[in-house]
Amino acid sequence: MKKILIPTKLDSVASEVLSADGGYQVVQDGSIPIEELVAAHPDAYGLIVRSEKVTAEIIDALPNLKVIVRAGAGYDTIDIKHARKNGVDVMNTPGANANAVAEEVVAMMLADARHIVQADISTRAGQWEKKNFMGRELTGKTVGIVGLGNIGRLVARRLRGFDCKMLGYDPLVNSERVREWGIEPATLDEIFAGSDYVTLHIPGGESTKGLVGAKLLDLMKQGATIVNCARFGIVDEEALRAVKAAKKLRYLNDVYPKDEAGLKSMADIADLMLPHLGASTFEANYTAAQRAAQELIDLDAKGDMSCVINRDIPEGLERAYCELAYNLARLIRQLSGENSPIKLIETSFYGDLAPFAKWLIVSILSGIWMDFDRYNDYNAAMKFMRKMGIELLNREIDNDKGYGDSMTLDLTVEQPQGFKQHSIRGTLTEGVQIVSRIDEFDRLYFEPGGATLFCLYNDRPGVIASISRKLADAGINIEDMRNPHNLKSERSLAIIRLSDPIGEDLLAEIKTEIEAHTAICTVV
């Protein structure tokens, strides 16, 4: 029998499901540190954990370990790279806590609107401060939902009973699908300007760090409320601190740099603070435990790897092509407009890449959407795209074109003037990633990477000189450049590798001076 260790106070249903299967011996003990349980059972085949840290040392201490299941969504407490190196599959249970978090958002909104916490403390102290606790109703309010994944959509469903008007923003979801969910699609600016409540449900990391900053906060209504049950760092605390009193904004928070005791940096600006309680319900615990056990059984019995988050690439596919697919997707996503919802993804894989289309599509999707993990599998990618209303077409290829081992990626995105397609092709040359085509511009042959300025303009002399002068005045050096022309469209594309990224102000100056159709600085 395979021994499974559960070093946490997880719902007993995990142990019950595994034991009922008949092929597992379960040892569950949440009263001692994980290191001690591992030391006592070095023959363990599997681990089911919650927030426990599974370090390289713990993995090395279990020579028979083959699978780790995180009963929850986040897995930053697990050394997934060391696990892969040791042949250990790591899985998670995404969506198991979605309803719990959605209900927490509504609970925080109600508690703040009706001063529930303060009124309870006051009344228990023998006071009767009814006049001081005049509240507000949720009914009829406009709620902006930033991020329309499982949690964001559930928040909308839960608030529907309050007759709220829902605005939604998610750069991956097209307007048609958003409206099917009973949500009105909106830009970030529209959400922050028009909402009484803004609730955040987007991933953390560099791509969203400080997203809710001075620009968006300045747009907010007097007395509006921000709810952050997503990730620490999305809200720029200093920017909020600067405008909160003047605009009488409310801030409800449940996320921190670390889940631990101690003073919190946002204590002076948070009107309601909870100790990261989003997933802390009996039901969420039960669901995560049940899914964790079933995923482990399905992995062993059916080879189902749909929830494995650290899978390895198949034999015959160079890892460099996965990196190429990822970088091409990141680049074309930025060029097409990261806030433009995607309707259709089309791919072509030439030469020896054709058999690995499913693997490369996962890399492409993770490049388009930074929160879609690159270790997911094709089934998870298809499920995600169906949920977001994104169509996928992997085209039949003609190897007689002589493209070698290359790939083409087209995105059809929704823009105010209608749908527009953007295309990119790339390959590897002597191990170096090369972009060979962008839209109508062919034979580019530049390496994606670093900060790159793209300017699309009507072809005429002197444009490159104008761009160079602006960059020089700002102390930005040109490291590489391509400047192809298209005779049919009479347009040119300046592709300029920069020593440093440039800000929005300089970008706007360049765009205005050269009368560019598009001016974008990408970072890959």
Of the listed ranges 74-78, 226-230, 309-313, 444-448, the one predicted with least confidence: 309-313
Under DSSP, is residue 91 helix (H, G, I), strand (E, B) or coil?
Answer: strand
Instruction: Give every CB contact of residue 510 below 8 A, 6+ residues apart in sequence.
Output: 453, 455, 466, 467, 470, 516, 519
Backbone angles phi, psi at 64, to 5 degrees: -95, 5
CATH number of 507's domain: 3.30.70.260
Strands 197-200 and 225-228: parallel
Specify whether 176 is located in the same domain as 263. Answer: yes
- Given a cut of 90, whether residue 319 has pLDDT beyond it is no
Mean of the per-residue pLDDT values for the chain? 92
Please give the Cα distance from 288 to 70 (Å, whole number): 9
Mean per-residue pLDDT for 288-296?
A: 95
Query: Is 514 part of a structural domain of the chain?
Result: yes
For residue 20, count other CB atoms closer than 10 A to its CB. Answer: 10
Do 296 and 218 fall within a single domain? Answer: no
Q: Is 475 contained in some domain?
A: yes
pLDDT score of 369: 84
With CA atoms as reference, report the closest residue to 200 among 293, 323, 108, 328: 108
What local confidence, expressed as pLDDT, does residue 381 receive?
A: 86
450 — pLDDT class (breaks 50, 70, 90): confident
Average pLDDT over residues 106-113: 98
Query: Is residue 312 domain-resident?
Result: no
Q: Look at residue 416 in the predicted model and tell me its pLDDT.
A: 80
Chain segment 498-520, per-residue pLDDT in tens: 998 898 899 999 999 999 998 98
> Is residue 373 in a domain?
yes
Model pLDDT, residue 62: 97
Distance CA 156, CA 183 (A): 7
Are residues 363 and 252 located together in one domain of the fold?
A: no
Confidence of residue 524 (pLDDT cuts 50, 70, 90): confident
Of 158-172, 237-251, 366-380, which range is least confident? Answer: 366-380
Confidence at residue 397, expressed as pLDDT on a 0 to 100 scale: 85
308 found inside a domain = no
- Beta bridge mates, 6: 28
82 lies in the same domain as 106: no
Q: 221, 195 in Cβ contact below 8 A?
A: yes
Can you give the CATH number for the domain in which 134 is found? Answer: 3.40.50.720
Q: What is the pLDDT of residue 73?
A: 79
Number of domains in the chain: 3
Q: What is the pLDDT confidence band of residue 83, given thresholds at 50, 70 and 90?
A: very high
pLDDT greater than 80 at residue 327: yes
Q: Using CA atoms, how far apart are residues 173 and 156, in angstroms rounded to an integer?
A: 15
Do residues 133 and 250 share a domain?
A: yes
In a domain, 314, yes or no: no
- pLDDT confidence of residue 316: 81
Contact 523, 451 (CB under 8 A): yes
Q: Would the pLDDT of 311 be above 80?
A: no
Picking from 505, 514, 509, the residue whose alpha carbon sits closest to that of residue 483 is 514
Rounded to the nearest angstrom, the gap between the alpha carbon of residue 233 and the centroid of all alpha carbons in its chain is 14
Largest separation between any pair of C-alpha atoms in the chain: 85
Q: Tell me which residue of 77, 73, 74 sits closest to 59, measured CA to CA.
A: 77
- Residue 118: its pLDDT value, please? 96
**Quick one: which H or E segment has residue 452?**
strand 451-458
Task: Please write the tens of the pLDDT for every residue from 401-425.
Answer: 778 899 999 999 998 888 999 999 9
Pairwise pLDDT comparison (304 vs 40), residue with the higher score: 40
User: Does pLDDT of 463 surpass 90?
Assistant: yes
Q: In the numeric block, which tokens belong to residue 414?
A: 């929704």
Phi, psi angle pair for 383, to nearest 5°: -60, -45
Judge contact between 364 and 347, C-beta under 8 A: yes
Note whether 428 and 324 are within 8 A (CB).
Answer: yes
Does residue 27 surpass a pLDDT of 90?
yes
Q: What angle is formed at CA 306 by the lines to CA 302 and CA 307, rounded to 5 degrees?
A: 110
523's enclosing H/E stretch is strand 518-523
Whether residue 253 is contained in a domain is answered as yes
Bridge partners of residue 5, in order along the sequence: 27, 47
Q: How far apart are CA 343 and CA 368, in angstroms?
A: 13
What is the DSSP-derived secondary structure letter of residue 406? E
Identify whether residues 184 and 51 lie together within a single domain: no
Beta carbons of 169 and 185 less than 8 angstroms apart: yes
DSSP secondary structure of 234-246: SB-HHHHHHHHHH
Amino acid at 366: S
Q: Are 63 and 3 in contact, with CB atoms under 8 Å apart?
A: no
- Gap between the Cα atoms of 428 and 324, Å rounded: 8
Picking from 312, 321, 376, the residue whose alpha carbon sits closest to that of residue 347 is: 321
CA gap 470, 412 in Å, rounded: 33
pLDDT of residue 469: 93
pLDDT band at 77 (very low <50, low <70, confident <90, very high): confident
Share of the chain above pLDDT 70, in %: 100
Claim to verify: residue 220 and residue 329 sit in the same structural domain? no
Measured distance CA(412)–CA(126) in Å, rounded: 63
108 in a structural domain:
yes
Read off the pLDDT band of 436 (50, 70, 90).
Answer: very high
Q: With cut-offs at 50, 70 and 90, classify the pLDDT of residue 313.
A: confident
Number of other residues whose CB lies within 10 A of the CB of residue 239: 17
- DSSP assignment letter at 47: E
Which residue has better confidence, 377 or 161?
A: 161
More confident residue, 284 or 369: 284
Q: 252 with 341, same domain? A: no
Do 261 and 148 sit in the same domain of this protein? yes
Domain coverage including residue 447: 319-523
| Residue 244 shares a structural domain with residue 289 | no
What's the predicted TM-score (pTM) here? 0.76
370, 431: one domain: yes
Pair 324, 240 in one domain: no
- The DSSP element (H or E) to which 506 belongs, if any, is helix 504-514
User: To 5 degrees, how large is the angle CA 367–CA 370–CA 372?
Assistant: 90
- pLDDT band, very low/low/confident/very high, at 454 (cuts 50, 70, 90): very high
CA distances (Å), origin 510, targets 285, 468, 474, 478, 503: 53, 10, 11, 15, 11
- Tokens 């949500």 identify what position? 183
- Region of 264 please: left (phi>0), alpha (psi -120 to 50) or beta: beta
Q: State how beta strands 406-415 and 418-429 pair.
A: antiparallel
